[in-house]
Each structure stands twice: as structure tokens, then as C-alpha cells.
Structure 1
Amino acid sequence: MTKKNMMVVAHRIAGRIVKEVGNYSIALGLALKEVWRQVKTYNKKRFGWEAIYSAASRLTTPKKSYSTSNVGGVPEWIIRKNLTTEETYAVLNTYPDVTFKKETEKAVLVDFHTDFGHVTMWCPKSVLVA
């Protein structure tokens, strides 16, 4: 993709997100970063309207922020990172009994006994809440 095409696409994306950002130069900077990210990651040669729409929505949608809550000393973000969607739902939406099955120098094997069954995962000791 040529630099001219990248600028054209970036201006199209910036035109779509300028209302949410409030300033066209900031919107253009964000759009250029997004276009460059997609060119480098996906080796894109051209952008269609679908890519422009998805890039604009990606830039204007706020990212998920994880809460600082924990379950039995295990932070929520590590549960979301290491477990599947169903297991995460079971651990976070019930009141599980938490036991530590095994322990190594740097990690512990955590067992969550939920209403849906047992869910086990390894958790680094460095992230455990005291």
C-alpha cells in the first residue's frame, strides 16, 4: 500500500470519528496509527469500506476495563485471561469455595468449587491478593 493510499484511508476514518474525538488533527493521528497497524499486522494492500467502518468503530469504542475485584485472593483479570468464557462465568457469578491444591516456587494451583463443578487453574504467586 502506498503512502498516498494510507493517507486517503486515514482521512476517511478521521472524518468518521472526528465527532467523538472532538479535534480533527487528533482523529487523523489515531486513524494513521490504526491504518499503519493494519498494514503491518495484516499486510493489507487496500482498504474497503468494511475495513474503514470497522476501524472507525474500533477507535471510538472504549476498551474494557477490568475491575479490581478478586475471588478468594485471585484477581478477576487473571481469571478472565486464563479461563474460558463458561469457566469465567461460573467463577465470577457464583460464590465458589477456593482451595489451593498444589504449590510450586512461583505458582499455585487454585481450585474453584462452583455450582457448576470444579474449575482449576494455575495462578502466579506474584498476582495473588493477600
Structure 2
Amino acid sequence: MITEGYKFRIKDMKMKKSTMFRAAHKLAKSIVDKTENYRMAMSYALKLIWKMAKDYRVRVTDSNIRHMTYELTHKPYTGPKYKDGVPDWIIDQHFDEQEKTAIWNNSFNSRVKKETEKAVLIQFDTDYGCLFTWCPKSVYKGELI
């Protein structure tokens, strides 16, 4: 019965907002060199600290911040792969299996054939001929005309 009262008191304790912001600033300063944008780092740090506060953690220690920094900066990249600036999901969406294999393995040249306000027409030169696809400029990572 004593332990139940103790758990209840711990749940009622809340992390102060000033403590949350101090911890978020510490975390954001440690990850800003990876993001190159302090605003984005601070936003993500606040989300993590807020999650800790929701879990009824009263304190954020330096070891917690070091652990979160390590987790944020050492995760492998899991985003899309690119072939000459075109993301893999565009290639998967617009081509069949044989054409995808030709683009990934036998493409020796690619270029922007046409450009509109919001998209570019990409030409992939392969050993089996030319393949074309439209790619939105918002996701295209190659050089424009």
C-alpha cells in the first residue's frame, strides 16, 4: 500500500517548462552540426523532451542527452536511393522490372531532356536504348538545364 501511494506521487510530479527548454537547447546544440539548421534541431529536441515529460520523467540528465545525441547522429540513412538525381521510388513507379534493371545496372548516361515549371523529363541512356521519365523538381537531386 505504501508503494502505491509512492507511485501516485511520482505521477503527479511534472517537469517544469524551463527544465524542458534547457534540456532541449542542450540537445539541439549537440545535433545542430548534423542538421545544419538550429530551428529544425530545436524542434526535434523539443519533441523528444516533451515525450519524456509525458512519460512522467521528472529530470533530464546529461547521460540522457548524450544517449539521445548518439541515437540521433549515428542512425544509418534509410531514405531513398538515387540514380543520377532520380529517387528509386520514381523509377519503381514508372518502369517495369527489365527497364529498372537496365537503368540501375546498364545506364551509362542520363540528362535532362525537357524542363517545365514543376518537373523535368529525364533521359536514361542504356545499352538497350533510351528510357524517359518525368520527375518532380521537388525530389530531383541532379543538375538542371
Q: TM-score, normalised by structure 2?
A: 0.41
Q: TM-score, normalised by structure 1?
A: 0.46
Pick the structure with greater CA Rg: 2
